[in-house]
Amino acid sequence: MKILKDILYKVAIESVTGSTEIDIHKIDFDSRKIEEKDVFVAIRGSLSDGHDYIEKAIQLGAVAVICDTLPESVEKGITYIQVKDTNTALAFMAANYFGNPSEKLKLVGVTGTNGKTTIASLLFQLFQKAGFKVGLLSTVKIMVDQTEYKATHTTPDSITINHYLNEMIEAGVTHCFMEVSSHGIHQKRTEALHFVGGVFTNLSHDHLDYHPTFAEYRDVKKSFFDSLPKTAFALSNIDDKNGTVMLQNTVARKFTYALKTYADFKATILESQLSGLLLKVNDNEVWVKLIGTFNAYNVLAIYGTAVELGMDSLEALRLLSDLESVSGRFQYIVSEGNITAIVDYAHTPDALDNVLKTIGDIRTKNEQLITVVGCGGNRDKTKRPIMAKIAIDLSDKAILTSDNPRNEDPEVILDEMEKGVEAHNYKKVLRITDRKQAIKTACQLAQPNDIILIAGKGHETYQEINGVRHHFDDMETVKEILEQLNK
């Protein structure tokens, strides 16, 4: 049991009705999960407003309610705390409830449009190889040392974050690497967390279904760096035009990384092959098993973070050379018939452009490049024609298909993608709604030495159609089809 007064520390309170000297069991913002002696936090979401469920939460046993607007009538014996913003209140309350676990380990946040998962996951790998107990909060999974949990959001809610950070403390974890999304920052999920470092990857077209303008999207990312303490480090990619913007106003120690510009951590690509990259990082050469220019940036971010966390620079490079690629990030297989199939999570225009240009740099041009790509439903519609245009411009053939249509009609999504197809490219394009059939067609079209890129879903092992998730794994599917074709 906790005392309500104690978990309200640092919460900006506007009014109190009732006593704060009461025992509480747990905090929740989902009224359906409320039990006896719980605190209910009324959050205003995009689909529902928690204030509409205050009465239900009390009926289920809530003894305290946190809200930004008091209900018209208050119940006797219930404590009502009015706050300016319930998202922020939830963040501080969750941190207090679990004993502020982020202050007891070294927490590094990674933000940007692309590269967050790769950087956070490979930092987890690198520090494990260095002998540390490490935690990971990512799109792909949550790791508490050796124990894996399923991830549901890029940046989980405040209660979930603090719950797992507390689990990490109990498991003896010393370092945690966390993906920080613009949604998570905007919804105050990272408030009340103590970061020892922040990493900026890049900024490109994404999430404009959520953020009304690109400027707001950028400024939300920037606010993460603005909030870093002076004891933390801020590491930014200054080859990105927004890289220096992220460092403005932060009181954290500023560091930069780049391939094209003078920076604290600088790399030159000496060799680029399907098997990896030979890089000159500052004054030392290192071979890594990661592919493409975008991964050279990721390597620099990982290296810079490791050094700023106190790791010896040569030891960091040695460990970098041993890292394995992240699931669904430029994963590839070569079939018996010598067809290369690449699966990548590229689901933004910039990410797709990077992956296709990487393949273009590696290929001989004597083979076909066939790209299978779709766009998610109930997400930013403006990127759909752009994604299709990039796929067609940088491939010999493109097959437009379903990604996760969610609650949208997949045919409408494909209609919007096709708006990016210019007349002279019509012959290069196929439209196949069924994703498995699209992948099968790509495999049937491919000849020995050809390359197939399957973009958009990467590590995901499901396809969401009409709100229902069905098992679907791009890598599993393409392996199975290529094996059948080789029989």
- Ligand-binding annotation for 101, yes or no, is no
**Helix, strand or coil, per DSSP, at residue 49:** strand
How far is the C-alpha of 298 from the C-alpha of 247, rounded, in Å? 18
**31 annotated to a ligand binding site:** yes
Residue 189 labelled as part of a binding site: yes
Q: Is 456 annotated as a binding residue?
A: yes
Closest CA to 329 of 201, 416, 449, 466: 201
Is 358 known to sit in a ligand binding site?
no
- Determine how many CB atoms are found less than 10 A away from the CB of residue 285: 12
Q: How far from 355 is each of 232, 295, 369, 408, CA to CA, in Å?
A: 32, 10, 12, 27
Asked if 178 contacts 162 with a C-beta cutoff of 8 angstroms, the reply is no
The answer to the question of whether 304 is labelled as a binding residue is no
Q: How far apart are CA 249 and CA 39, in angstroms?
A: 37
Distance in angstroms (rounded) separating the CA atoms of residues 344 and 457? 7
Q: Is 155 annotated as a binding residue?
A: yes
469 is in an annotated binding site: no
| 8 A C-beta contact, residue 305 and residue 296 | no
Assess contact for 454 and 474: CB atoms under 8 A. Answer: yes
DSSP assignment of 51-117, as one string?
GGGHHHHHHTT-SEEEESS--SS--TT-EEEEES-HHHHHHHHHHHHTT-GGGGSEEEEEESSSSHH
Whether 59 has a binding-site annotation, put simply, is no
Do the strands 39-41 and 369-373 form a parallel or antiparallel pair, or are they unpaired? unpaired
Helical segments of 104-199, H only: 116-129, 158-170, 182-186
46 is in an annotated binding site: no
Q: From 334, 338, 358, select the one nearest 346 (Cα to Cα).
A: 358
Q: Is 404 annotated as ligand-binding?
A: yes
Is 393 part of any known ligand binding site?
Answer: no
Tokens encoding 206: 């994404």
Ligand-binding annotation for 111, yes or no, is no
Pairing between strand 64-67 and 39-41?
A: parallel
Q: Is 117 annotated as a binding residue?
A: yes
Instruction: Answer whether 303's CB lies under 8 Å from 265's CB.
Output: yes
Q: Alpha-carbon distance 314 to 453, whole Å?
A: 35
| Residue 156, φ and ψ in degrees, nearest 5 | -65, 175
Q: Give the length of the chain.
A: 487
What gap in Å lies between CA 66 and CA 91, rounded to an integer?
A: 12
- Residue 241: count of CB within 10 angstroms of its CB: 10
CB atoms within 10 A of CB 404: 24
150 strand-pairing partners: 141
The Cα 351–Cα 357 span in angstroms is: 10
On whether 112 is known to bind a ligand per the annotation, the reply is yes
- Is 360 annotated in a binding site? The answer is no
Is 113 annotated to bind a ligand? Reply is yes
Residues annotated within a binding site for meso-2,6-diaminopimelate: 379, 403-406, 456, 460
Residues annotated within a binding site: 31, 112-118, 154-155, 181, 187, 189, 379, 403-406, 456, 460
Residues annotated within a binding site for ATP: 112-118
